[in-house]
Copies of this chain bind each other. A is one copy, B any other.
Amino acid sequence: MVNRPIGVFDSGVGGLTVVKELIRQLPLENIVYLGDTARVPYGTKSKSTIVRFTLENILFLLKQNVKLIVIACNTSSSMALEEARNYFKIPIVDVVLPGAKEAVYATKNKRIGVIGTPATIKSRAYEREIKRLNSSIKVISKPTPLFVPLVEEGLFYSAISLKISRMYLKDFKEADIDTLVLGCTHYPLLKPLIQRVMGKNVTLIDSAEQVVYEVKELLKKEKLFNRSKKKGKHKFFVTDAPENFLKVAQHFLKEPIKNIKMVNYGL
């Protein structure tokens, strides 16, 4: 039972930032990852579609016999977490609450910026969680819809990425924030770029570490830690052909992906 894998999904490659941290902190756990690369991006689509995609992804992972699910996608976490927890028995960790917690720990001047997909920002999920933790904090949010296509294209540090970042982040520079939440698991790949634009005094929050902390707490509570002495196995599924995923995935994981398979749960 306890050697069942942890299931992780994202709309594309972004969730690998969470997988990387899972591997680092929980090297004995088996992991199954699903990247819905045929339908990426999620963040520009409507709530009903994001809920449907999220439930389909969880069903797919349940069939892989997972013991816990990480929704490593901010759009799904913001838009479909409630439905997912209402429908399914399996413990689910999201990425929004952990990111909000980290941001609240980090801010000194109580001014936090949040960037994310249009769906995530529209949901106001980060604002809600941050205000619940500390109602005196000011939150400034802005959608940055072109960051996902940039990352999916592998344009981490091109001239075009820099121009787009400067335009998107201008408002935050003027708003005197000291903490910026990267509210999309794709964005950590743009960290060097965003840090350069924002300057080194602004703390960038990537929720991966805190997500894995919550995974550990849940495994402890549910007595689900893998007791094996061997290194965990990592299996990857994608819904589009794997070539582009593999190319970009190397930048995330810094380790070769051996076990990858294309699956198709559409018509």
Contact = CB atoms under 8 A, between A and B. Distances in A.
A188 B167 CA distance: 24
A241 B122 CA distance: 15
A51 to B, nearest CB: 11
Central interface residue in A38, A53, A150, by most chain B CB within 10 Å: A38
A102 to B, nearest CB: 29
Interface stretch (A39-47, A126-134, A171-179): A39-47
Interface stretch (A22-30, A158-166, A201-209, A218-226): A158-166
Contacts of A241: 45-49
A59 B267 CA distance: 11
A146 B149 contact: yes
B153 A163 contact: no
B153 A149 contact: no
B145 A44 contact: no
20 contacts: A38-B53, A44-B244, A45-B241, A46-B244, A48-B262, A49-B239, A52-B264, A56-B267, A59-B267, A118-B153, A145-B153, A146-B149, A146-B150, A146-B160, A149-B149, A160-B164, A163-B163, A163-B164, A164-B164, A265-B267
